[in-house]
Amino acid sequence: MLEAIEHLIDGAAGLLDQDVFLPLLYRFGWMRWEELSFDWAVIAVYGLISVLLTMAVCWPLERLRPIERWKDHDAVVWDIAYTLVARAGVLPIASFIVFYQVQTDLNQYLALRGYTPPTLERAVPALIGHPLACFCLYAFILDGADYWRHRLSHRFRRWYYLHAVHHAQRQLTFWSDDRNHVLDDLITALWFGAIALLMGVPPLQFPLLGMALRFIESLSHANANLSYGWLGERLIVSPRFHRFHHSPEAGGRRSCNYAAVFPFWDMLFRTAHFSEPYRPTGDAFAPEAMATGSWFAQQCAGFRLFFHRGRPDAAVPPRDSASR
């Protein structure tokens, strides 16, 4: 069964490589990347599969057990576009290209100077020969790093002005996870890339780790009345746990429940709030363009706030708080 699935994926990637990627590389004189083009195609196919899998799980939950019902879903349309680009479009392929090149150059630089490139297996020899355990540990560490990236994005005012694009959504659905400002996405990519380089994550695993973590993140944004129980909610971030992070009461720079996948990080650093009721979402400080505008309007609103010089009419969300 698994071999048949792998064969189908390889077949789809091969067609995409031959009909799209290789012609583009030839057209723009980038044939030096020819050996990696099939890997790009595999990443794109896996990204599309991740979108379809997320839809297959989250869409029925939102239909059967919605927290909120809306007369229209216009504000969600752009979130779908964000997701397609982030999961199966340019972003995962670009992250692979950049990460592969940086890791190759860094390893060569270290090797020429007599240093051994860093890897998690060298730090924890017991992981050698156990790729699944290593992959899970990569995911756990990256989620811990993301906890602090996310928390800091709420702590620093100008950074939050970019992150507010994500929090402005009042129609929160599983599509909302990838609704981000381009500068915020760039910071995230650099943050993740730096941590992954320090651990020696293999280049092809880097985008796959992101896809695996983002499945849980998408589910946590779902408009679904779904709880995992007392124990489950302390193991994996649930829609109820994360929804409170998006509520106006906990929004802005006064927030909690920052973890994307593992609540352990919120519990460890005392920012966890469990058993909160389901509440409306949105950010009262965000311009309306961030909530209901087009992709271009949302991005421009983020840039305007980011470069704002702190005039009295600027949105000034309250500060980050510790757990109560």
Model confidence, pTM: 0.84
The mean pLDDT value for 16-39 works out to 80
Res 12: pLDDT: 82
Q: Which of 18-27, 86-95, 179-188 has the lowest mean pLDDT?
A: 86-95
Two tokens at 22?
């290789």
Q: Does pLDDT of 25 surpass 70?
A: yes
Q: In 10 A of CB 245, how many CB atoms?
A: 25
The distance from CA 217 to its chain's CA centroid, rounded to whole angstroms, is 7
Of 192, 239, 218, the residue nearest 67 (C-alpha): 239
Long-range contacts of 305-312 (CB under 8 A, 24+ apart): 305/158, 305/161, 305/162, 305/164, 306/158, 306/161, 306/162, 306/183, 308/161
The mean pLDDT value for 79-85 works out to 91
Res 2: pLDDT: 45
Q: Does pLDDT of 323 surpass 50?
A: no
Higher pLDDT, 78 or 27: 78
Q: In 10 A of CB 114, how many CB atoms?
A: 6
Structure confidence at residue 207 as a pLDDT band (50, 70, 90): confident
The mean pLDDT value for 40-51 works out to 82
